[in-house]
Structure formats: C-alpha cells, structure tokens
Structure 1
C-alpha cells in the first residue's frame, strides 16, 4: 500500500496553498476532500441552469500577493477584478457612495459633512499605519513568548523593534486600536451616522460582536489590509466566482504532480504511539502517510478527528474553550434582470461594488442584540454585491447573480437546532429588506440558495458556521491562535500539523496560514524532526 509523504485534510484554499508549497518542495502530497467538489468556503457552484454562485466567500482581497506570485496563479487562470464603487442606502431615500478615487470619496463625504471629509484623510492615514504594522506579521510564524529557542527570541525582538519604532504616541494609539470598539474608534474621527456606519461594517463582518463591543476595531483592520493589483484596501471579484481561486490552486498543485481525491470524508486521524501515521476515511479505507496536515478548524480537528485519549488534558481544555460563535448567514440569488434602486443614478459605478442598507451604528448594535437573544436579526446588516456587473461569466446574458452576506445569524435558534422553516423565514427577512429599497425585486428572483450556520457547517465543515474558523478577538490572535504553546502550526501529536484559519493570522481567503504551515513543516523536515511535538504543554 502506498504511503504518501504528506496528507492534507480539506481542499479549501489554505489546504491547497499548503499542498502546493509542499509538492513544489519535492514531497508526494495527497489532498482529501469530503465533498465531490473542491474549494471549501471558496467555491463556485451552479445550482440552477446558467448561473454560477459564490456560495460562501464572495469577494477577493486578502489573498496574499506573495502567494499568487510564488504559485503563479494568474498563469492558471486566476483574475481579480476590482470594485468600482459601493453605497450605503439611507432610510430617507438618499445614499452615501463609495468610490475608488480618493478625492471623489472625499467630495461625497463633504456632501454630508465638510468636517468628516477633512477627517477622512486623518482616518485613512491612521488605519494605513496600523496596516503597515500588522502586514509584515501575516507571513511570519507567531513567536512563542514562553520559548527560549533562538527563532522565537528573534521573532520577539523583531516585534519589539517594530513596536518601539512607532514612537510614543503611535504606540499608545496601537494598543488602544487593538482593544477598542469600532464605534468608539470612529467617533474619534466622524460625526455623521451614515459615514460611521459605512466604516463600522468592516468591524462586524463574520464576528459575534456588536460595533460597540471592544475588539471590533481590529476586525476592521483585518478586512482593510488586503489589496488588489497593488491597491491596498481594495476589494474585487475573482472572475468565475470565488471557486476560481481554489480552481487555480488545484491546477497549480496538480501541475506539480500532486493528487486530489474528492468524495473522501475523513473519519479520524490514524495515530500510533503518539505519531500521526495517516487517516481513516468514513468508508473505512486507510491511507498511510508520513505526516497529516489538517485544514479543518481546531475544534473539528481535535474533537472529531482525533481520539481524546491521544491529547494532553490542558490542550484539550483549551481547544474546547476556543471561541467559534458563528454569526453569519448567506443568501445567493439568481435574477432574471438587473435590480433597480431608485436612490441611485442609473449606471452608477456604485452598483459595481458592495451595497448596504444599515445606515447607523445603532441599527447594527440592535441586530447584535437579536443574535444575543438567539434570533436572526429582524433588521439584518447585508453586504450585498452583484458580481455579474463586472463578471458576465456567472449568469446568462442580461441576467445577474446577487450575493448577500448576512449579519447577524446565530448557530442555534433560541437554543435549539435550525429547522427548514427557520431557514426559509430567515431568507424572507433578507428579501424583504432588499425589496424595501428595490421595487419589483421579488419578481426578478429566479432561484435562491439560503445558507444559515447549519448549512455552512454541514457542507463546508466550519464549526458553528464561523467563517474565520474562530473569533478574531485579541485573546485568539498571534501566539494565542489557536492555543498557547501550539500557535506554530504543530500539535501535541507528532507529525500532525494545522494549516487552517484557526491558526495565525486567522480567517478570510488569505492563504497565509497554509503557506506559513508549509514553511514550518519544511523546516522540521530539514532538521529531521518532523515527528517532534512541542517540548511544553499549555497551561
């Protein structure tokens, strides 16, 4: 029976990135995927004739350009088209437009508040400063502050130098930024409700926190630090839907000689004498390998794929306490024509970006109140895009695909499991909000796919439907992600590694966890310590 050099569990983007780097380094790598298609949360599927849906993730920005270059993804068909605008609709029939051009953006802000237009430059400067501080850390393994190993000491010195180089005021601002709420942060710059709502949305997407919750300012940063074609903070559509990202990764992997096996659900990791020796599939097949790399989240990996007796109790306790707290849903809609929004000028560039209906921070906070009570928001925040305005490959001529990311949507409804009736009522809440701003919208609907955390977990394997494989709160970042002492992609089991978004630097279609994990694996192989687990336990 063949024994692989490495077996990667899950053909999501991080699993494929990891597999690509390992295969290119000369290993013989197998990727196994439980679904009959690849992509994980970054997939494109046709659920109704002629239309292509980005089922979960729906926009591209965070994917690291270094990885795109290393793996030559444009050569394998990946093309990202930048947004051209965006808008927040107000309840009085007006709208706040977003434009790619900085000066046009300022003029639009001045329409609401000259003071806020002036503050925008200061805001953009300060957020960019935070991006420049954090971006170099994305593609580096987080240091272990409890270790005396030279690499960890070197990384801590690197971090200390970067921090001390900020200057006293900027150091204080950085510490405040990482711990404050997005609402408090925006209050320091802007006075206009709709302008604050425009920026606050990036502080709550995918997070079980409200805009007034401490820590949400960092979540904004996590979304802000992406880039498209060198434009920092830009967002765009992958031509052919988000599945184009993983399709290009799979092509790059297979071109290097890698193997992908779909329809291969993993039942458990095969562990002998504390060492991972392969996997056992749900059908009973055993596949042997010299190492196993899990792209599943930390809870699914260690609470479902590994027997508890193989894990030290302090580690197991930390894994069980790792916060998931899914908060998002998704509604994908096939339309027979372009929807009309009377507030917007015809053919406005804002159609070719993300649009929102929540025009105050208070409305967002009330939506969070619903989530805390175990209900989906009666007045949800929607991140609504129509990719077919820039990518006609996703629908028949003259027709369109709309993606609606929905906040807030709980993993359980008032403590019980979701039912199909709940799911349909959730979808109706979304459609009703869109129809309030777009007359005739219902009549344009050809087909809908409604995804609550139940569907997201069942299909994609994201525990509680959390799109980041774990909350991006300060206590779950850097050397704490996912578990102190095991934040460097290794695990208590020799030869079992992690490469998913539960690890540093976190979620989003970024690829950094997969690439960083590959670097650590190759480093272990070079040292001849691939079966070594960390020399200390969590506390």
Structure 2
C-alpha cells in the first residue's frame, strides 16, 4: 500500500531536517527519508575506536543561522556550543608561531612579531570584511530571484540589490575583488608577511579544490567569515557532543513538529506522472506519494541518478553535466594517547583548542594544489587540526584525546586508473608525516585512525566527488546561478520537485539556510497557488 504525505524530504542531513521542520510547522504532513542508519548527513558524531567519538565529516560550527537555532529551539534539545579560546594557531618550520584570536589587541601583538605594518593594517582589513559579511548575512536567508520570471525576477533582484547598495564605494570595490580575484591578490593588497597571509588565506582553500592563487578563491575566504557563535560575529566553536549533537537536536525538533523520520530508507528514483513529480520509490521497491518532493542531496546525484533524464530539458541536463564538484578534501580522525607537543609551543595551552593550521605560506598551499592536480594527491598536504577533546571530555576515555584532521590537496579522481581504495592509507600516512614535522612524537601517540578519502566521502555521505559543499563555490555557481541559472530559487525543472541542499543558495557549510529558504519558497508557492485557486 502506497503511503501518502504532503511533503517528502530526500536526505536527512541538516538542511533536510531544517526544511522538514518549517514545512511541518506550517501544518504539512512531512516525511524525511534517510539512506543511512542515522540522520545528520555529514554532520554526525561516530565512535571510530572503542571509547573514542568524534565528528566524522563536518567538524566545527559558526555558520549555523541564529534564526534556525531560535525557531527550532535547538538549545532546549541539547545544542550547546563553546568558543575556541584562540581562533587559529600557525606553527612554523623554524620554530616560530602565530596565534590569532583572544581579542584585537593580542592578535595585533602576535602579527607585529612578523610585521608592524601588517599589525597596523589588521583592524581595517577586518572592518572591510565585516561590512561585506553583514550584507551576506542578510542575503543568506533570502530566496534568490529566479531568472526567467519576468517582472517578479526584476523586483526580487532589485529588492536584494538594495542590500548591496548599502555598501559605500570602497565596500563595493572590496566586494567585487572578493568575488572575482584570488585570495593571494586580495591579501597582497593588505599584508606583506607570509605567515600572516597564510593564516588568513587558509580559509580560501577549505573545501575548495584550488590554490589561494586561483581566481575566485577570495570568495571562499569570505564565505567562512560571515558566521557567528553565541552572538560573536566571525567566531568558530565546538558543539558539545560533536556535530551529531546539532542534527540530533534538529531531529528532536522535527519530531516535536510531527515529522516522520525514516532511516535505512534509500530512495532509488523520483516518480513522475504527466511531467510532474508525484513521489519516490525506495530501493526496497516501496512507493511513497507526495505532491511536494524536496531533495537534500547534491544536484549531480539528484539529476544524474534519481531523476529519469527524459523528465529534464536537454539544456538543463547539459548544464548539470558541466556542474563542477570536488572539494579536494581528505578527512581523518585520530585517537591519541596524549596531547601533541609542538616545537613552536611544546607545553599545553590555548593553542591546542584552536584551529591548528599546518601550511606556512600561500606558496605552500599553491604547490599542494598543483601537485594534486597533476599527480592526484600531494605528499605535503595542507592540514588543519582540531583537538575537540580539550573542550569536550565526553568524546574520549579519561586522559586520552581525539583530533580532527581536515586536509586539502587531494583530487576527487586519480590519474592513470589508480583508485583511492589503493592509495588512501599512503595518503593518511603523508598527513601524519606533516603533523609529525611540527609536533615530534605525534605519530607514536596515534592509537587508531578513521580515514575518509574523497571516494569514501562520496560513498558514505553521497557527496559527489567528495565535495563537502555539493558543488564548487565559484561566481558561476552562486546565488541565482546555484546550481543552474533559472533554477536558483530552489525549484527543479520538474513541477513538484524542489532542492534544499548545499548545492543551492547560499552554499556549503552547516548553515541551515538552504533548508530554511527552500521551505519558505515552497510555502510561498503553495500560498500563491491557493489564492489563485480560490479566485478561480
């Protein structure tokens, strides 16, 4: 017997849960279908060795929308975030280091160790980014104009364009640079010191299969600074219990709103009748009907796997085939018998609770990307290490620790017919070698490790090309053009089918914004349709 709902959400990641919550709160009967045994998508906490738990893919929080936190009452469901005492720690091969955070005065003092001119420029740099980030925060919860809808497109574009118009000329120039230039070009205008540019430019390669000299990489830098934690703009924090605590709180909010959540329910295809999406068929053969289908998976797996090509316009199929994915990321968790001792700062301190960046210069990051592009992966990857157990002792046995290693410089596919199944262990060894170079004895302290190559990320979480953002964050794949111009307002080219994942505006990261916006677009469309029917 076919089950029927008002709306079915494909994929129980955080955006799918957010979308389901808002639809259910509006009175719809909603079902979330998740292929894995646990909801959360890439925002999950798993035990990877006896007694050792950690966030498996996404690993830190800042971009989650405060409105979503309030509306879903996540704090009442156990959501708790603690700030990092320092934002970032950059040890250098020569034994020096740069610690960022703890207030502007202390950060400037650290920067002055390398350049007094850079210390002087730092407040103006942050002010310039903050001005633009404030505008993007407003746009993050807006539904982009859908090109091709005539007057409605012009009105929506004008409305959202007014927000950009609030920037003065200097701010608009900065915005243009950030959208079109490389991170290196942007940072070179502000700073002279390589370590300062490295610690600031690292954000430009996070989840971005590019180097800081790649045109457009400046925007990725900006994308990572418009979040906030506990009301502090631009801050990053750790969720007690790992990132799975975020999505478990969301799931609890959904259930309170009446949402049905089914795990181990992989969707095999989108069912259509007379050109309209009418339901889904599970891998088990079960049919579930709904007039509203919302896909919280990436555009590529949605349109190239679940949707019959005959249901899509030819040009749209071509555009999706050309849609760029692959974030060049390799993700590891390691169980530690003791804390690392960095040559640059050997004793325990606040640096061990920071984002520890192991990439001494922009040139180092560029070389890592070029080696990955030519050879498949670099032997000197860009590594960010977090040790969340310094802030959350629930993750490990007493006296032990766990570290997240998020690494760049790994192509989604390898040349010469090589497979990630063959090379994942060697790549993991290379990552540990990099850490060992800055913290001798680190490798000996590793008692277990969990490895996710780009292929592992694709298989486990459905991330095409291992892309944590569901698609490249470049100017041609942002705002109204994400994923394809003409379908930037969460509407698929098939009536009844919608999108709510990171492959829609405003893109990747644990934000909840795509899920929020998609639900509101669906409800607005439903309201307009209802009024039209009543007038008829």
Match of 1:511 in 2: 512
Secondary structure of 1:488's counterpart equals coil
Q: Which residue of 2 aligns with 1:535?
A: none
Alpha-carbon contact 1:490-1:497 (below 8 Å) kept: yes
Q: Is the CA contact (8 Å cut-off) linking 1:495 and 1:531 kept in structure 2?
A: no
- CA pair 338-167 structure 1, distance change in 2 beyond 3 A: closer
Alignment TM-score, normalising by the size of structure 2: 0.97
Partner of 2:95: 93
Q: In structure 1, how many angstroms separate the alpha carbons of the residues matched to 2:369 and 2:82?
A: 32
1:122 equivalent in structure 2: 124
- The answer for the alignment partner of 2:193 in structure 1 is 192
Alignment-derived partner of residue 56 in structure 1: 57
- Structure 1 CA distance for aligned equivalents of residues 236 and 301 of structure 2: 30
**Deviation for aligned residue 1:164:** 3.2
Aligned with 2:248: secondary structure? Answer: helix
Q: Which residue of 1 aligns with 2:480?
A: 479
How big is each residue's C-alpha offset from its partner over 1:405-441, in whole Å with a ceiling of 9 and x where there is no partner? 0101111111535243300000000011111122221
Structure 2 residue 23 is the aligned partner of structure 1 residue 22: yes
Measured in 1, the distance between the counterparts of 2:504 and 2:187 equals 29
Mapped contact 2:420–2:453 kept (Cα < 8 A) = no
Is contact 1:329-1:406 (8 Å) kept?
Answer: yes
Residue 141 of structure 2 aligns with which residue?
139
Q: 1:122: Cα distance to partner?
A: 1.2
Q: Which moved more, 1:283-292 or 1:384-393?
A: 283-292
| TM-score under structure 1 length normalisation | 0.96
Q: 1:451 maps to which residue?
A: 452
Alignment correspondent of 1:243: 244
Q: Is residue 208 from structure 1 mapped to residue 209 from structure 2 by the alignment?
A: yes
- CA positional deviation for 1:523: 0.9
Q: 2:338 corresponds to which residue?
A: 337
> C-alpha deviations, 1:497-527, integer Å up to 9, x for none?
1000000110000010000000011112112
Residues 259-296 of structure 1, C-alpha deviation per residue, up to 9 Å, x if partnerless?
Answer: 11111111101111111111111111111222211001
Query: What is the match of residue 382 of structure 2?
Result: 381
| Contact in 2 for aligned 1:51/1:334 (Cα 8 Å) | yes
CA contact (8 A) 1:99 1:350 kept: no
> C-alpha separation between the residues in 2 aligned to 1:157 and 1:492?
24
**Map of 1:20-419 to 2, 5 A cutoff?**
20-85=21-86, 86-150=88-152, 152-344=153-345, 346-416=347-417, 418-419=419-420
Inter-partner Cα distance in structure 1 for 2:155 and 2:335: 52
Identify the residue that residue 537 of structure 1 maps to in structure 2: none
CA RMSD in angstroms, aligned pairs only? 1.6
1:135–1:203 CA distance, 2 compared to 1 (3 A): same
Output the CA distance in 2 between the equivalents of 1:368 and 1:214: 13
Q: Is the 1:495–1:530 contact (alpha carbons within 8 Å) kept by the matching residues of 2?
A: no
In the aligned structure 2, how far is the partner of 1:529 from the partner of 1:142?
A: 22
Preserved CA contact (<8 Å) 2:92 2:438: no
CA-CA distance at 1:153 after TM superposition: 2.7
Secondary structure (helix, strand or coil) at the match of 2:377 reads coil
Q: Are 1:145 and 1:156, in contact at CA under 8 Å, matched by a contact in 2?
A: no
Cα deviation code 1:213-265 (max 9, x no counterpart):
11111101100111001111100111101111100000100111211111111
Q: Which residue of 1 aligns with 2:430?
A: 429
Give how far 1:491 is off: 1.0
How many Å apart are 1:336 and its aligned residue?
A: 1.7
Q: 1:328-351 CA deviation, whole Å, 9 max, x = no partner?
A: 010110112222213115232111
Residue of structure 2 equivalent to 1:536: none
| Cα distance in 1 for residues equivalent to 2:313 and 2:148 | 18
- Shift in CA distance, 418/373, structure 1 to aligned 2, threshold 3 Å: same
SS of 2:202's equivalent? helix
Whole-Å separation in 1 of the counterparts to 2:418 and 2:77: 41
CA shift for structure 1 position 145:
4.3
Decide whether the 8 Å contact of 2:337 with 2:401 is kept in 1: yes
Q: d(CA) in 1 for partners of 2:416 and 2:494? A: 34
